[in-house]
């Protein structure tokens, strides 16, 4: 019985909103698949495109970046720069033929434990049929 493919996902969560939202999902004992390993950053604005490319290069099947809603950034406007930068990354990755589901951005506030849970569930569901990400992954 072949094992079902389980995508490996790296999520960059901003400390003040998305990571707190993820904590809330935990406190509320919500349930979502364990495919996502979170890395807490201070602000979605501090996520460099290099991190995303590197995660894909090191074998991530999917990458998520999540930050505060526009207007709510703890650091006032870091997420606005993230929005611009990540839009360009998304367009570029799509243009070279990477499946668009593999890189996603979300706004999750500290109160949105439910939303975070749903995003992870949707993400895993969308990545499973795509199989392992081999295009940018460095083969050992």
Site for other proteins in 45-84 (CB under 8 A): 45-51, 53-60, 70, 74-78, 80-84
Backbone angles phi, psi at 20, to 5 degrees: -65, -40
Closer to other proteins by Cβ: residue 2 or 74: 74
From candidates 17, 32, 109, 127, binder to other proteins by CB under 8 A: 32
DSSP codes of every residue in 29-42: T----TTEEEEEES
The secondary structure of residue 110, as a DSSP letter, is: T
In Å, the largest CA–CA distance within the chain is 51
From candidates 1, 3, 4, 29, binder to other proteins by CB under 8 A: 29
From candidates 7, 22, 68, 124, binder to other proteins by CB under 8 A: 22
């Amino acid at each position: 019985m072949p094992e079902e493919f389980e995508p490996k996902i790296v999520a960059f969560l901003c400390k003040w909103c998305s990571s707190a939202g993820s904590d809330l999902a935990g406190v509320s004992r919500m349930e979502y698949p364990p495919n996502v390993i979170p890395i807490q950053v201070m602000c979605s604005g501090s996520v460099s495109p290099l991190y995303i490319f590197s995660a894909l290069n090191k074998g991530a099947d999917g990458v998520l970046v999540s930050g505060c809603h526009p207007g709510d950034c703890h650091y006032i406007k870091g997420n606005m720069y993230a929005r611009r930068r990540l839009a360009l990354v998304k367009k570029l990755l799509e243009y070279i033929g990477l499946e668009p589901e593999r890189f996603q951005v979300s706004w999750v506030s500290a109160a949105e434990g439910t939303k975070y849970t749903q995003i992870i569930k949707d993400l895993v569901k969308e990545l499973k049929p795509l199989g392992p990400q081999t295009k940018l992954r460095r083969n050992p």
